[in-house]
Amino acid sequence: MVEISGYLDFETAKPFARSIEELYKDNKDAKIIIDLSELEFVGSSGISNFVKGLRGFNKLRMKPSYCGVKSEFKKLFRLFEETTSFELCESQDDAIATATDRYNQWQMNALRSKNTH
């Protein structure tokens, strides 16, 4: 669980992305939930870089789930989505359940693939 609070600006967007990269570097199959409920919208320069940085995590096998996403962030998430959408959940519990379900599904598919080859 990664909880972000305070104000987001151009200077804080990149260090945050590097922190998430480190979590995945240590465990490629991590079930990461990012709680944005305490994050304040500051302006397009910081937020657009922030969302663009998060977009790369959507391409990973175990992409993060997000909760507590305010409407202004949701709009930008949708704007910057590519082929893989952001997984937005209403609460931490929903995000945990969604991430766990995705992980379990991935494990079942991996096991099925292993058994057929």
Please report which helix (H) or strand (E) contains residue 78, including its range.
helix 71-80
Please state, in angstroms and rounded to a whole number, the distance separating the CA atoms of residues 92 and 83.
Answer: 25
13 vs 5, 9, 64, 98, CA distance in Å?
12, 6, 17, 25
Please state, in angstroms and rounded to a whole number, the distance separating the CA atoms of residues 38 and 102.
Answer: 25
**Residue at token pair 């990269």:** 21
Residues 8-26: tens digit of each pLDDT: 777 777 788 888 888 888 8
pTM recorded for the entire structure:
0.79
Residue 77 vs residue 65, higher pLDDT:
65
- Walk me through the domains of the chain, giving residue ranges and CATH numbers: 2-116 (3.30.750.24)
